[in-house]
Structure 1
Amino acid sequence: MIMNSIITIGRQYGSQGHAIGEKLAKELGIPFYDKEILAKASKESGICQELFEQNDERASSSFFYSLVMDNSYLGYGANSNWEMHLGQKIFLAQFDSIKDIATKGACVIVGRCSDYVLEGYDNLVSVFIHADLEYRTKVVMEREGLSEKKALEHVMRTDKERRSYYNYYTNNRWGDLNNYHLTIDSSIAGIDGCVDIIKEFVNVKENKNE
């Protein structure tokens, strides 16, 4: 099968979305983008990469924060567009990077509103990975060496940040099944099962479009 799909993966924190996306891309032999988007957007926009990392999938509504940052960090029209706060500059830089990535062919992109950015593309397959809170808490406990209480707090806080970011910058609602072609419970399917389900779905969709 010649792959031409761009697969975007939205995910709840701790649902293993990154691991699923990485394994999927490896098995399909196509590029994988997660944090790589931040480096690409930083390089192309002139905005310091540290600011992308600090604001990654967080809806920063603080105009004051953008004012106190030194202009040399911002780039991307900072001298002429002070009305645009830092979060918007970072979102638009990532938006442009994701669009550019999509022109290069089949790939897997994790998070950063990529399903919304590429909405309307015929070759888009948008996926949302979710799992019950207990499963996700255990994943984060093991992965990050946190206590159950700290892991639970981290999961809930990160989900809130991702939800706020997505809802702030798009016309959609984060996690709403109507926004995705496919949603999968990774606590049931596991990483390998999720990969197999997505591959089969992509195969069906591509054959339907032939």
Structure 2
Amino acid sequence: MKKIITISREYGSGGRIIGKKIAENLGYNFYDREIIDMAAEDSGLSPEFIEKTEQNISSGWLYNLLLGTSYAGTTAGATTQQIGTQSLPLADQVFNAERKTILSLTDKPSVIVGRCADYILRTSDTVDSKDLLNIFIYADFDDKVKRIMERQSMDEKAARKAVQQVDKCRANHYNTFTEDTWGDRKIYDLLVNSSTLGIDQTIEMLTAFIQKT
């Protein structure tokens, strides 16, 4: 059975709850928001800063330019890191902090959601590819909108806009910090449309699949 499962997901596809329930079914550790807190503790960046920075960028250098040095001064520990004569952009500091945290989670069976974990682990020399399973969860657009309307108490217009914007931000984040393209079928082991079976049966199907790997 695969030791490390990564879940990449479209907004509103149910990917987070699918990952959490799979972890519960298998007795694995589950990491999502927890990565922010762990990265913050290790790096000195504030959890609030990491959460805000994660996917609200199109590129690290541009985000740092827009942010300006004043933000670093108001964020606990968010000083620029010097590399030679160059400063590492704040967004890159966040990515590196989360990368270090994700790599530290591979000693125990785990399900890891988002944060480029599939790429980070797939390209790491310290992770055996035989232990890794990368899954991408997507869903029909109308189903995603409906789920966000219910979960966030939004009207349909706002939910449609949110789904489009968040998925665009996730793609920008992934495409900026990796050498791959978010959602490209060639880089995942499984792509699953959660609309086909519904959330509960998707969880059952993936749990059974992982148990057979």
Query: 2:37 maps to what in 1?
Result: 39
Q: 2:47: which partner in 1?
A: 49
Q: Deviations over 1:66-111 (max 9, x none)?
A: 5222347364763535621111000000000000011x21110000
Distance 1:57 1:79, change over 3 A: closer
Q: Which of the numbers 168, 186, 209 marks the counterpart of 1:160?
A: 168
Aligned to 2:136: 128
Q: Look up the match of 2:89.
A: 85
TM superposition outliers: structure 1 runs of 4+ over 4 Å? none
State the one-letter code of the partner of 1:182. Answer: L
Give runs of aligned pairs for residues 175-186 of structure 1, distance below 5 A. Answer: 175-186=183-194
Letter in 2 for 1:7: I
Gaps of 5+ in 2: none
Match of residue 97 from structure 1 = 101
AA partner of residue 176 (structure 2): Y
Give secondary structure in 2 for the equivalent of 1:8.
strand
CA distance in 2, matches of 1:66, 1:108: 35
Q: Does 1:112 align with 2:115?
A: yes
Structure 1: distance between partners of 2:2 and 2:11: 28
Say which is worse superposed, 49-58 or 153-162, in terms of deviation.
49-58
Quickly say closer, same or farther: Cα 1:79–1:162, change in 2 above 3 A.
closer
Does residue 68 (structure 1) correspond to residue 76 (structure 2)? The answer is no
Alpha carbons 2:72, 2:79 under 8 Å: kept: no
1:29 maps to 27
CA distance in 2, matches of 1:105, 1:72: 36
TM-score, normalised by the number of residues in structure 1:
0.89
Q: Contact (CA 8 Å) 2:5, 2:112: kept in 1 or not?
A: yes
Aligned residues: 202
Q: Report the Cα distance in structure 2 between the residues aligned to 1:4 and 1:132, rounded to whole angstroms.
A: 28
Residues 66 and 91 of structure 1, relative CA distance in 2, 3 Å threshold: farther
Supply the distance in 1 between the matched residues of 2:81 and 2:174 (Cα, whole angstroms).
27
Q: Secondary structure at the match of 2:171?
A: helix
8 Å contact 1:34–1:110 — kept in the other structure?
A: yes
What corresponds to 1:18 in structure 2? 16
CA RMSD of aligned residues (A): 1.8
* Amino acid aligned to 1:113: C
Partner Cα separation in structure 2 for residue 124 and residue 21 of structure 1: 14
Q: Is the 8 A contact 1:71 1:79 kept in 2?
A: no
Partners of 1:28 and 1:68 lie apart in 2 by 45
Q: 1-side partners of 2:74 and 2:45: how far apart? A: 8
Following TM superposition, by how much is the alpha carbon of 1:4 offset from its aligned partner in structure 2, in angstroms? Answer: 5.0
1:208 aligned residue? none
* Matched residue SS, 2:181: coil
SS of structure 2 residue aligned to 1:183: strand
Does the CA contact (< 8 Å) of 1:66 and 1:86 recur in 2? no
Provide the rounded CA distance (Å) in 2 between the counterparts of 1:88 and 1:74.
16
CA–CA separation in structure 2 for the residues paired with 1:45 and 1:63: 18
